[in-house]
Structure 1
C-alpha cells in the first residue's frame, strides 16, 4: 500500500452530485468519513476562472472529479486550473477522474485541415500536472494512446448487463442487442456477450454531422426486443430514427442503453415523442431538470464503480477487475432489485 494517509477527493462544478456520491461510497468501503476537499471555484466578471483550495494537500494522493461536459470549455478549464492549483500546492499525485471525456469525438483527421482535439486535450491535462486519468467509455479506444501517462478506461457495459438481466429477466431469450453504426459494433458485441444475446447492426450513412442520409438494418430483428447500445447520445436524432427503423423491420420493442447522456438541444423532446420504450443513461453527466423529469429516461449510478476504481488505484490493485460483470455484481448488490 502506498505511503499516503488517505485518498483525497476534490471536485469541480460539472457534476457535484456524482462527486458527492463517490465520496459517500468510499466512506462506506473504508468505514470512515471521506469528504470532498473544500475549495472554491469562482469566476471573475469577464468569465476567467479562479480556484482556491482551502485544505492542505501537500504530499497527498489527490483525485480530481470533473466531467468535461456542457459547457465543455468552462468545465475543461476548471479541470486544468484545479490540477495546476493542486500541483503548485505540492500534491504528491494528481489523478483526473473524468467520467465523461469531452472532445473525444475529434480523435482523428477525417478531412484536410481539421484538428485532433482529443490529443490536444490530452497534452493540456499532462501539462497542467495530471499524472493519471480515470474515465469511462471513451468514444474511441485509441485516445488512451494519446497520453504518455496511465489511463484507466472503465466500461458501463457491466452495469448495463446487470440492469438488463433484472429488467428483462423473464424475456432474455427475446433480446437483440443493436449497434447504431458499424463503428460501435465492438461495444455492442461486448454487452451482447455478457447477456448471451445475438447482435444486429444499423448501418447509417451521414451526409454531415448530426444528419443521417440513409439507414438499413443488418440482421434479423423481427419479433425481438431490440436494445440499442451506444457510448453517447447528443441530439438523439439518430437514436430515434434507428428505433423507428427497427420497429419497421418487425421489432416488438426498442430500448436504448447509452453511457453518456449529452442530450443537448431538442434531445429530451425527441426522446419523449419517440417510439422507444425508454432510454437508460449513466450519471457521468449531471442530469438537467428536463432529463430528470422525462418519464422515458432512467439514470444508472456510476459512483459505486468509480469509488472502487479510485480505491484500487490508491491501493495499487487491479482496475481491470472492474471490467467483469461478476466483480460488479457485489458492488451493486441489491440496487437493481425492486
Structure 2
C-alpha cells in the first residue's frame, strides 16, 4: 500500500488535518517560526514519504505564506519526496493573470513559476479567480469547485432559496448551485443610466444555463424580478474582500421584498470590517468555506480535496 504523507502549512493546518482524516493518511508535524528580523524558519518533523501532499493557502500575509510554501516544497524534495502534490486552496496573487496596464507584473504567472520550480509535481486549487491561471503551469493542475459543499450548507439551512450572483461574473457559481438544488437563480447587472450614474438591477432571467444536459430547467423559463419577494435569497460569490458589492446586493434584495438574505462565498478575504458591514446591512447569516481561516469559515472543503487526491 502506498503511504501518502499529508503536511499542512501554518495557514492550513486544520484543513490539512481534516483532509488526512478523510483519507485515513498520516499527518506530518511541522515547526515554523519567525526570527526577530522577520525571516522564516521551517522544519519538517518525522520521516518523509515518497508521495507527499502539501496543503497551504497563500492568503494574508501573502508573502509569508508563499515563502513558507516554497520552503516546504523544496525541503520535501531535498529529503527524498519523489512526487509532491501541492494543494493551494486559496491562491494569493492569483487575481492578476493579465497585464491590464503597461508595466504591470503578471503576479499569477510569477507565483505559478515559483511553485513549479520549487519542485511541485501537481498543483490543485479551489475556484481560482480565473481558470486561465492553470495555463502558467507545465505540470498537471486541477481547479476544484466548492459549490457542492456550499449547496449542502444551503440545503441544510435555507428553505425555498433563490440563488443570487451579485454580478454576472459570479453567475456560473449561482448556476452550479441552482442545478444541484433544483432551484432558481439570477444575477445582478450594472445598468448605465447616464455618464455619471450607474444602477445595479436584478436581471430578469432564470439561469442562462450553459449545460446542454440540464433538461429539468426550460431555457425559456423566466424568473420575474419580483420573484425574490418573500423568498430566502442566497448571495454567492467566489471572493468577498471589502464586502461593498455584497452590501449593495443585500440592499437591492431587501428593496424587492426578500424575506431574508444569506451570504456565502468560497474565499473569505474579508478586509476593512467586511463582516460587520455585511451583517449590519441585514444578512441573516454569512458563511464561507475554510480555504482561508476566518470567523465565518464554517463550510469544509476537506472532502472535495480528499476526493481529488484519491
Which bin holds the TM-score, normalised by the shorter protein?
A: 0.7 to 0.9
Post-superposition Cα deviations, 1:211-254, rounded to whole Å, max 9, x if no partner, equal x9642221214413221111111121211111111211232221
TM normalised by structure 2 equals 0.85
| CA distance in structure 1 between the aligned counterparts of 2:292 and 2:179, rounded to whole angstroms | 27
Q: Aligned runs of 1:243-322 on 2, under 5 Å?
A: 243-287=250-294, 291=295, 297=296, 299-310=298-309, 312=310
Unaligned 5+ runs, structure 1: 28-33, 207-211, 292-296, 313-338
Length-normalised TM-score, structure 1: 0.78
- Could you say which residue in structure 1 is the equivalent of 2:220? none
Cα distance in 2 for partners of 1:5, 1:100 equals 28
Query: Which whole-Å CA distance do the structure 2 matches of 1:303 and 1:133 have between them?
Result: 16
Q: Tell me the equivalent position of 2:164.
A: 178
Q: Report deviation, 1:55.
A: 2.4
The counterpart of 2:108, out of the listed 118, 121, 133, is 118
- For the residues of structure 1 that align with 2:62 and 2:244, how far apart are their CA atoms? 21
Could you tell me which of 2, 6, 13 is aligned with 1:5? 2
Partner of 1:286, secondary structure, is coil
- Match of residue 51, structure 1, among 30, 38, 42: 42
1:122 positional shift: 0.5
| Post-superposition offset of 1:144 | 1.6
Contact 2:127 2:145 in 1 (8 A): yes
Matches of residues 1-338 of structure 1 in structure 2 within 5 Å?
5-27=2-24, 34-57=25-48, 60-168=50-158, 171-172=159-160, 175-204=161-190, 214-219=199-204, 220=225, 221-223=227-229, 224-287=231-294, 291=295, 297=296, 299-310=298-309, 312=310
User: Closer, same or farther in 2 for the Cα pair 1:104/1:298, shift >3 Å?
Assistant: closer
> Tell me, what secondary structure is at the counterpart of 1:178?
strand
Structure 1 or 2: larger helix share? 1
> Where does the alignment leave 5 or more consecutive residues of structure 2 unmatched?
205-224
Distance 1:122 1:250, change over 3 A: same
Alpha-carbon distance, 1:309 to partner: 2.2
Could you say what secondary structure the match of 1:64 adopts?
strand
Q: Are the counterparts in 2 of residues 18 and 286 from structure 1 also a CA contact under 8 Å?
A: no
2: CA distance, partners of 1:188 / 1:70: 27
